[in-house]
Structure 1
Amino acid sequence: MALQTEFEFELPKGYVDAEGTLHKKGTMRLATAKDEILPQKDPRVQANPAYLSVILLSRVITNLGSLPDVTPKVIEDLFLADLSYLQELYERINNDEITFKVTCPYCERETEVNFGAPKS
């Protein structure tokens, strides 16, 4: 069974680039330990810990519309609703349950099983 490592999304409002093009659909990958550790050394994060999510999102969003790169500047220029959406998506795919498709050994029916920390 392969682990899903990339997740497609659609922003509620969308990112508008300098030419006025709207970018709404994108892909976010699972974060690595490196994604969480390296931004801690960034002077922008050291000066303002809230900037951590900007750096993290720019590292794990693999594409957004037709943009060549998703940089911290792109994340900075998102509408607040889109930033909140991406922060929630990041938390959900990296910290919540993981769903696996499994086959019952008795009835041979396929079902989904959730693994992960119970919600409090």
Structure 2
Amino acid sequence: MRRGTPAPVRQAAQPSPGAPEQNHTGGQRESVSGAGPERLRTEFPFELPRGYVDDSGTVHRHGVMRLATARDELIPLRDDRVRENSAYLSVVLIARVITRIGTVEDVHAGIIEDLFASDLAFLQDFYRRINAEGHTRAAVTCPSCQEHFAVDLAGGRLGES
């Protein structure tokens, strides 16, 4: 088994106006509504309920989480802190996939440890929603008018019934 430092995370390219969008196979992907190509979203903004308070007392609430890779889920399993306490898995995993909290771009397990419990719970749920559930939209066609549109099979937003 070859070991080395992890490759740097690739930033999602910003779409240029009028440029065709690519799917994971390199081809264009049409949107569910049929309105044109759709980009695979790999980064998701969030707002923490309370916020991360840094050493200077600044509160950081807005951040970005990227989709997890298989490596992101496997590497923490070899971490000694996780081996000693399995509850630490979520701390290490969340730290790997958050790219920014406020102006803090070097997000590591120590920062996640300093979050309020409600913020950690929020991030755990956010991680689950964007990674485990995947896309919950389905393309459908109205039987009456034959119009194509997307339906969200997951229901409403978090907290709604």
TM over 0.5: yes
TM interval, shorter chain, is: 0.7 to 0.9
Contact kept in structure 2, 1:7 and 1:27, CA below 8 Å: yes
Deviations 1:6-45 (A, max 9, x none): 1110000000000000000001111100000011111101
Contact kept in structure 2, 1:25 and 1:65, CA below 8 Å: yes
Point out the structure with the larger strand share: 1
Of structures 1 and 2, the one with the larger relative CO (CA 8 A, separation 6+) is 1
Among 125, 128, 131, the alignment partner of 1:91 is 128
C-alpha RMSD over aligned residues: 2.0
1:37-116, aligned counterparts within 5 Å?
37-100=74-137, 102=139, 104=141, 107-114=146-153
Runs of 4+ in 1 over 3 A off after TM superposition: 99-110, 112-115
Aligned residues: 115
Letter in 1 for 2:118: A
Point out the structure with the larger helix share: 1
Question: Where does structure 1 lack aligned partners over 5 or more consecutive residues?
Answer: 116-120
Mapped pair 1:16 → 2:53: yes
Max Rg structure? 2
SS in 2 for 1:98: coil
TM-score normalised according to structure 1 size: 0.85
Cα displacement (A) at 1:4? 1.4
2:16 aligns with none
Contact kept in structure 2, 1:98 and 1:114, CA below 8 Å: no
2:133 & 2:71 partners in 1: Cα distance? 19
Identical positions, percent:
50
Cα displacement (A) at 1:2? 2.3
